[in-house]
Amino acid sequence: MIKKWRNFVPSGHAYHISVALDERRMPVHLHGHDFSEVFWVEEGAGFHRINGRRQKIGAGDLVMIRPQDIHGLAAMPGRHFRLQNVAFPRAVTTQTGRSYFPQGGWGFWHDGPMPQSASLDAGQRAALQGEIAWLRNAPRDRISLDTFLLNLMRLLGRRHEARGDLPGWLETAMRRFGSGDELVGGVHAFFRLAARCPEHVARSMKKHCGITPSQWVNSRRIEQAARLLETTASPVTEVAADCGFENLGYFHRLFLRQHGTTPLRYRSRHRTVM
């Protein structure tokens, strides 16, 4: 069965938000749709059948469903299971990807065999509840939807950190990478954390994240540089060195590409006010 956007969403609405879907309305049989959706588990545990696989999901798990995905849901016998979701047209996915995620490889723009997912911590879950409370009362227009989607992307964190079918060893290495010594050590430090040969790490990251290890490491370095610019008075040269950049010109080029402005201008706009 293919669910059609036009069949259940009023004309002119940019998105559809469900109040809740619980075990009383389970199972949800296998289906596809001509739109995208994001759903997350509020409480309990259940099963998600997705593209031929069966996965256990529980409270805090979030999944980004693409139009090409075929999935269904079921509650675990005798267990409470409660979901929420936000759906929006395929065209929005395409337009937002072109505007904000032109490289793809992440979120709704990941083209791997499985959709991407995330396990939200307590802080992320609380923040998402706040976003949903706002969205539920907002106009059903494109501005409201774009605001929610961009805030969701920020909430989920680093844009190149794939989740769908990411190997455990790679996810662990990506999660552990981030201390000062590792940032200075760069891609070689990342290879050590992964405990795999560089060629295997590179192939896996290209497959699951759509980028090279060097691109991902530099993205992490620039993120740390932005935090230091916001929270310290260290000179830009010192910030660059602390994040592993020996070439100041290269640091400036990467920072401009990732944040759309220079390090000094970024600092002036984002300086912490106490």
pLDDT tens per residue across span 48-99: 999 999 999 888 899 999 999 999 999 888 878 888 899 999 998 888 888 8
Tell whether the model's pLDDT for residue 274 goes beyond 50.
Answer: no
- For Cα atoms 176, 151, 265, give the angle at the middle one, nearest 5 degrees: 80
Percentage of the chain lying above the pLDDT 70 cut: 91
CATH of domain 2-156: 2.60.120.280
Give the model confidence (pLDDT) of 224-249 as tens digits: 888 788 778 899 999 999 999 999 99
Residue 164: how many CB atoms within 10 A of its CB?
20
Mean of the per-residue pLDDT values of the chain: 84
Three-state DSSP string of the chain:
CEECHHHHCCCCCCCEECCCEEHHHCCEEEEEECEEEEEEEEEEEEEEEECCEEEEEECCEEEEECCCCCEEEEECCCCCEEEEEEEEEHHHHHHHHHHHCCCCCCHHHCCCCCCCEEECCHHHHHHHHHHHHHHHHCCCCHHHHHHHHHHHHHHHCCCCCCCCCCCHHHHHHHHHCCCHHHHHHHHHHHHHHHCCCHHHHHHHHHHHHCCCHHHHHHHHHHHHHHHHHHHCCCCHHHHHHHCCCCCHHHHHHHHHHHHCCCHHHHHHHHCCCC
Which residue in 155, 187, 184 sits closest to 173, CA to CA?
187
Range(s) within the chain of domains with CATH label 2.60.120.280: 2-156
The dotted CATH code for 168-270 is 1.10.10.60
Domain with CATH 1.10.10.60 in the chain: 168-270
Kindly compute the dihedral angle of the four CA atoms of residues 54, 60, 64, 65, in this order, to the nearest 10 degrees: 40
Burial of 225 (0-12, 13-18, 19+ CB in 10 A): buried
> Residue 161 above 80 pLDDT?
no
pLDDT exceeds cutoff 50 at 13: yes
